Amino acid sequence: MTTDETQRDTLPLGALLALAMTGFICIVTETLPAGLLPQIGSGLGISPSLAGQMVTVYALGSLLAAIPLTIATQSWRRRTVLLLTIAGFLLFNSITAWSSHYVLTLVARFFAGVSAGLAWSLIAGYARRMVVPQLQGRALAVAMIGTPIALSLGVPLGTWLGGFMGWRMAFALMSVLTLVLIGWVLVKVPDYPGQSSTQRLALHEVFFTPGVRPVLGVVFTWMLAHNILYTYIAPFVAKAGLANDVDLVLLAFGIAALAGIWVTGRLVDRHLRTAVLFSLASFAAVAVFLGLFMTSATAIYLGVAIWGLTFGGAATLLQTALADSAGRGADVALSMNVVVWNSAIAGGGLLGGFLLGHWGVGWFPWVLLAVVLISLGIASRARVHGFTKGGRISGEVVIGH
Q: Could you give the CA distance from residue 391 to residue 279 in angstroms, rounded to a whole number?
A: 18
CA distances 19 to 117, 182, 337, Å, are 14, 11, 17
Q: Could you give the CA distance from residue 24 to residue 14 in angstroms, rounded to a whole number?
A: 15
Domain boundaries of the chain, sorted by first residue: 3-188, 203-398
Residues 6 or more apart whose Cβ sits within 8 Å of residue 260: 148, 308, 309, 310, 311, 312, 313
Q: Choose among 30, 325, 288, 368: nearest CA to 171.
A: 30
Q: What is the pLDDT of residue 392?
A: 55
CA 172 to chain centre: 23
Q: Give the number of other CB atoms < 10 A from CB of residue 110.
A: 20
8 Å CB contact between 211 and 382: yes
Q: What is the pLDDT of residue 13?
A: 93
- Fold match between domain 3-188 and domain 203-398: yes
- Write out the chain's pLDDT in tens, 401 residues: 344 445 677 889 999 999 999 999 998 998 888 777 778 888 999 887 788 788 888 988 998 989 899 889 988 999 999 999 999 999 999 999 999 999 999 999 999 999 999 998 899 889 989 998 888 888 988 998 888 788 767 667 777 777 788 899 999 999 999 999 999 999 999 999 987 766 667 788 888 889 999 999 999 999 999 988 887 888 889 889 998 888 788 888 888 988 998 898 888 888 999 999 999 999 999 999 999 999 999 999 999 999 999 998 898 899 889 988 988 888 888 889 988 988 888 888 888 888 888 898 899 999 999 999 999 999 999 988 888 876 555 443 344 43
Q: What is the pLDDT of residue 198?
A: 64
- Ramachandran class of 276: left when φ > 0, alpha when ψ lies in -120 to 50, beta otherwise: alpha
What stretches of 166-202 show up as alpha helix (H) in DSSP? 167-188
- Name the superfamily (CATH) of residues 3-188: MFS general substrate transporter like domains (1.20.1250.20)
Tell the CATH topology of 203-398: Growth Hormone; Chain: A; (1.20.1250)
Residues 6 or more apart whose Cβ sits within 8 Å of residue 237: 243, 245, 246, 249, 300
